[in-house]
Amino acid sequence: MRLRMAMIGGGTGSFIGPVHLMAARMDSMIELVAGAFSSKTDISEKSGREYGLPVNRIYGNWEEMIEKESRLPADQKPDIICVVTPNNLHYAPVIKAINAGFHVICDKPLCISVEEALDIKSALESGNTLFCITHNYSGYPMVKKAREMVAGGELGTIRKVMVEYLQGWLSDKEEERGNKQAEWRSDPAKAGKAGCMGDIGTHAFQLAEYISGNRVKRLFSQLNTYVDGRILDDDGNVFLDFQNGIKGTLLASQVACGEENALSIRVYGTAGSLEWKQMEPNNLYFRKKDSALQVYRTASPYGSPGPIAEKHSRLPGGHPEGFIEAFANLYRNFALNIMALRNNEKHDSSYDYPGIADGLRGMKFLDAVVDSSEKDQWREI
């Protein structure tokens, strides 16, 4: 039986809403049954019709949706509430959905403050619902392989982690050219205290901790705003001190002219190093000390990358798997955990997904990054 999902946000003109919906539907484990897709009733209704929903399951606001959907019979009401609104509109619906007993999927970053994040964590601890935050890059098969290799000691003792997330789409003031995605991302009231770092820096930070298996203890940052008149950062450089003596750097920019979605990570140890690039996601490069370069490939017929990577591969080798498939892996893994909980079974931890701990780490990262840049000092995290 499919799990039922209701969506908040993600209406006509949204980028990430349709991505969530495609990911949710990919494995036929989740179906959309209701939604409040926009604060504008006409847009919400238009979006709901395009998504194939009946009129009585399309709402003009999320409060009404959660209240009415929570009163439906158990075989009709949603199992999951998916929140894909701008950052400032995550906290309230997430809290209300958790308190109403729904499982929740939320786009990143979690919210706009550590205090809000702690409230969400407390609400989850008080109930019996599951939570997923969509740091979707951790869903790629070769990211799973990289994490497994580090944890298995194949790189030896880790010394250095270097992560970059470079885009060029905000090199000009797109927020004044009718670009809705640029408008809210450059508005502190909607995006929160950070721009580029909140939007893509949090992805890079989560990926660095996920693959390395180590937390960042402290950081030193320099946030930059290159486009005249822009309030929030559009670029930044961060030094990272991890546990166990690991050093690292994080570079994030949305004014790197010519770059598309260039997320990449390199991890260096005493016995070797690895490199993964989001724009070439089927390849994981392993440079072992005193050996030739090895390239692991997603679903390769010439040598398995391992059972965990295989569980997150969907196509035969040579068929590119990308952004949507990685997103879908999170949805599938989350759905499997819900089903295990429902059946009183133990969830297979190899089908993992980012949760509230990742969301809270992201907010602490942003607090530390902004404070460090403003005061020109190292900050603990």
- The confidence score (pLDDT) of residue 98 equals 98
Q: Is the pLDDT of residue 154 over 90?
A: yes
**Nearest of 239, 280, 279, 275 to residue 259 by alpha carbon:** 279
Edge-to-edge strand order for the sheet containing 216-224?
Answer: 294-297, 283-288, 272-277, 262-269, 158-166, 247-253, 235-242, 216-224, 379-380
Q: What is the mean pLDDT of residues 96-114?
A: 97
Other Cβ atoms closer than 10 A to 125: 8
Q: Is the pLDDT of residue 304 over 90?
A: no
Q: Is the pLDDT of residue 94 over 90?
A: yes
Q: Is 286 left (phi over 0), alpha (psi -120 to 50) or beta?
A: beta
Q: Is the pLDDT of residue 231 over 90?
A: yes
Residue 265 β-bridge partners: 163, 276
- The confidence score (pLDDT) of residue 175 equals 95
Domains annotated on the chain, with CATH: 3-129 (3.40.50.720), 144-317 (3.30.360.10)
Please state, in angstroms and rounded to a whole number, the distance separating the CA atoms of residues 105 and 20.
10
Compute, in degrees rounded to 10, the torsion defined by CA atoms 8, 12, 13, 16: 40
- The structure tokens 């408008």 sit at 183
283 phi and psi angles, rounded to 5 deg:
-110, 135
Q: pLDDT tens-digit profile of 248-301?
A: 999 999 999 999 999 999 999 999 999 999 999 999 999 999 899 999 999 998
- The confidence score (pLDDT) of residue 265 equals 98
Write the burial class of residue 271 (CB in 10 Å: 0-12 exposed, 13-18 middle, 19+ buried): middle
Q: Is the pLDDT of residue 162 over 90?
A: yes
35 phi and psi angles, rounded to 5 deg:
-175, 150
- The confidence score (pLDDT) of residue 58 equals 98
Q: Is the pLDDT of residue 303 over 90?
A: no
Write the burial class of residue 156 (CB in 10 Å: 0-12 exposed, 13-18 middle, 19+ buried): middle
Going by pLDDT thresholds of 50, 70 and 90, the confidence category of residue 1 is: confident
- The confidence score (pLDDT) of residue 85 equals 95
Q: Is the pLDDT of residue 60 over 90?
A: yes
Please state, in angstroms and rounded to a whole number, the distance separating the CA atoms of residues 116 and 188.
16
Please state, in angstroms and rounded to a whole number, the distance separating the CA atoms of residues 22 and 189.
29
**Nearest of 172, 88, 103 to residue 347 by alpha carbon:** 103
Q: Is the pLDDT of residue 14 over 90?
A: no
Write the burial class of residue 140 (CB in 10 Å: 0-12 exposed, 13-18 middle, 19+ buried): buried
Going by pLDDT thresholds of 50, 70 and 90, the confidence category of residue 13 is: confident
Contact criterion met (CB below 8 Å) for 58 and 48: yes
Q: Is the pLDDT of residue 38 over 90?
A: yes
First to last CA, the chain: 42
Please state, in angstroms and rounded to a whole number, the distance separating the CA atoms of residues 166 and 147.
22
Helices 114-126 and 356-375 sit at what angle, rounded to 10 degrees? 160
